[in-house]
Amino acid sequence: MINIQIPATSANLGAGFDSLGLAVNLYNYVGIEESDKIDILSLDGTTVPTDASNLIYTSAKTLYDMCGKPLSGLKIHQKNNIPMTRGLGSSSACIIAGVYGANLLLGTPFNTDELVDIASKIEGHPDNVAPALLGGIVTAVFEGNHVYWVKQEIFRQLKFMALIPDFEMKTSDARECLPETISHMDARFNLSRAALFSASLLQGKYENIREAVQDKLHQPYRLKLIPHADDVFEKAYDLGAYAVYLSGAGSTLMAIVNGHDTCFASTMREYLDNMGLNGWQIKELSIDNQGTKVVF
């Protein structure tokens, strides 16, 4: 059995809607091998489909179909540490587990660029699947059937504090609340800030990134679906966060803080509890620069 580690991801990063994403050190683990039947087991008790509708299986089967190789079944063992439907790339992790694992089982007929293309076609956009596969912070454009991407590794002393509400937010629901058209002014607003974000993060100009995560395309609409989101944003900035943004489609809010900060998590925990948000989780994360890999 091939054992794979896949990182969680945080997409959009404020203004980079459907084009920016980064990998963080929270991992799903998947074991995969060929079998004469579909045999899927969740090792952590998370409820997952155990038939041919399982996303890891369907993603793997896509590669088998592309190679013209029959697939009678797979044995899949999955450990799901990434919270589902919380804006941390749980579905992308499943897709990458399937295509990466199948590629190894098939003798690596597809290169990295091709795997990014295939995974993005399955997901519909590259902002989560690309960093899940590649690691680091990834800027990506999906045009036709091809993804144009650039990966940058980040070695800065930063913490990514995931503030995870105790309710799901499906991507489909989060997209339904978005307007069909935007103004030229709003488009210009986002383009300038998306361009500013990764350059500022790479060069350590943290004074820029509060402005760089400002957005007019999706966050103002989606944050209305998250009770107390505005209050939590304000508190995170009061505690010295460099930036706060909605991770992916939500519901997770992500705060970027100084890597040497030892008080943010405990103070935010006390604040959330006082607000009656006891079910919210706080996970202290950092950037994963390696992406998906085989583990032993």
Say what the pLDDT of residue 250 is.
87
Report the mean per-residue pLDDT for the chain: 95
pLDDT of 32 > 80? The answer is yes
Say what the pLDDT of residue 112 is.
97
Specify the pairing of strand 74-79 against strand 39-42: parallel
Residue 24: CA count within 13 A, CB half-sphere? 26
Say what the pLDDT of residue 157 is.
86
Say what the pLDDT of residue 7 is.
98
CA 92 vs CA 11, 79, 142, 206, 215: distances in Å: 11, 15, 15, 28, 23
Average pLDDT over residues 98-113: 98
Residues 145-154 pLDDT 10s = 899 999 999 8
Average pLDDT over residues 3-16: 96
Say what the pLDDT of residue 37 is.
97
Lowest mean pLDDT among 68-82, 169-183, 242-256, 267-281: 169-183
Lowest mean pLDDT among 149-153, 169-173, 187-191: 169-173
Average pLDDT over residues 229-234: 96
Instruction: Give the CA diameter of the chain.
Output: 58
Q: What angle do CA 238, 277, 271 make, to 5 degrees?
A: 30
Say what the pLDDT of residue 163 is.
98
d(CA 104, CA 145): 22
Say what the pLDDT of residue 296 is.
86
Query: How would residue 168 be classed by pLDDT, with cut points 50, 70 and 90?
Result: confident
Cβ atoms < 10 Å from Cβ of 31: 18
Average pLDDT over residues 181-201: 92
Say what the pLDDT of residue 188 is.
94
pLDDT of 38 > 80? The answer is yes
CB 125 within 8 A of CB 21: no
Query: How would residue 159 be classed by pLDDT, with cut points 50, 70 and 90?
Result: very high
d(CA 119, CA 227): 33
DSSP string, 194-235: HHHHHHHHHHT-GGGHHHHT--SSSHHHHGGGSTTHHHHHHH
Residue given tokens 């990434």 in the structure block: 82
Residues 250-265 pLDDT 10s = 899 999 999 999 999 9
pLDDT of 165 > 80? The answer is yes
Q: H-type helices in the chain, by residue range?
A: 55-67, 90-105, 112-123, 129-134, 171-176, 184-203, 209-212, 219-222, 229-238, 264-274
Say what the pLDDT of residue 94 is.
97
Give the whole-number percent of the chain exceeding pLDDT 70.
Answer: 100
Query: How would residue 175 be classed by pLDDT, with cut points 50, 70 and 90?
Result: confident
Quote the tokens at residue 195.
Answer: 């361009």
Say what the pLDDT of residue 187 is.
93
pLDDT of 169 > 90? The answer is no
Residues 72-104 pLDDT 10s = 999 999 999 999 989 999 999 999 999 999 999
